[in-house]
Amino acid sequence: MVNVEVLRVFTDDQGGYGNPLGVVLDGEALPDPRQRQKLAAALGFSETIFVDDIEYGRIRIFTPAVELPFAGHPTVGAAWILARELGRPLESLETPGGIVPTWIDHETYWIRGALASTPPWWHERLPASSDVGQLAGTLSPDQDAAQLWAWVDEGAGVVRARTFAARFGVPEDEACGSASMRLAAALGRAITVHHGKGSVIRAKPGPPGTADIGGRVVSDGPASATGTKSSALT
């Protein structure tokens, strides 16, 4: 039996919403990538991570359809849960996409990732935040990895966004860190992204070729390895 813990990453200030993340702390219990992919598909979260070395923060990331070299909400979630397990924060995580620095600012866990390691998200700006909320999907069937967004308050850097990712086996991603990283880098400024149904992502440009994302994380406890998953709290 593989033990899976469910986190919610990018919650609001009250611990509601957030993007569910499956975590297998004992990655050695399921070393075969094919079995990992099967479990990720059964769980059905946008991503599931497998921790291959807690001390060094070595992780692998799987969507229901493919393995990713890097993704935003899994690395923020990994930073949180490994700090809990070790009793201290890690300075970095090891992913197939490279070393990912991590740090904590009050209750917000931050990571810095290379933009070249993120999926090639398409961004489309809509006229108003209400337009984003009313979306039933992307504007075109060709947009199978897209973040659609609008300003809520441009002066304050507040954004409304939703992300659709059929390419990765995820019809809609509740809170997409890597897309928000790329958006912050493209805008050249720090932003607060109100994502999905109620999640909150903080993102800002980093040193050249990188961007930072941060958010709050909570645990919903264990999930069944046969596919039963906890629901995000609202």
Render pLDDT for 28-75 as a digit per residue (tens, 0 to 9). 999 999 999 999 999 999 999 999 999 999 999 999 999 999 999 999
Whether residue 101 is predicted with pLDDT greater than 70 in this model: the reply is yes
* pTM of the entire predicted model: 0.93
Whether residue 226 is predicted with pLDDT greater than 80 in this model: the reply is no
The span from the CA of 44 to the CA of 80, in Å, is 21
The span from the CA of 91 to the CA of 104, in Å, is 10
Q: Give me the pLDDT at residue 224, please.
A: 59
Torsion, Cα 193 197 199 201, to 10 degrees, reads -20
**Residue 37: which of 67, 59, 6 has the closest Cα?**
67
Give the bridge partners for 11, in sequence order.
Answer: 216
* Residues 6 or more apart whose Cβ sits within 8 Å of residue 113: 70, 72, 75, 97, 98, 100, 178, 181, 210, 211, 213
What is the architecture of the domain spanning 122-214? Roll (3.10)
**Residue 57: which of 84, 29, 30 has the closest Cα?**
84
Q: Which residues are catalytic?
A: 47
Q: Give me the pLDDT at residue 155, please.
A: 98
Domain boundary assignment for the chain: 4-100, 122-214
- Intrachain domains 4-100 and 122-214 with the same fold: yes
> What's the topology of domain 4-100?
Diaminopimelate Epimerase; Chain A, domain 1 (3.10.310)
Q: State mean pLDDT over 114-138.
A: 96
Q: Look at the chain and count its residues.
A: 234
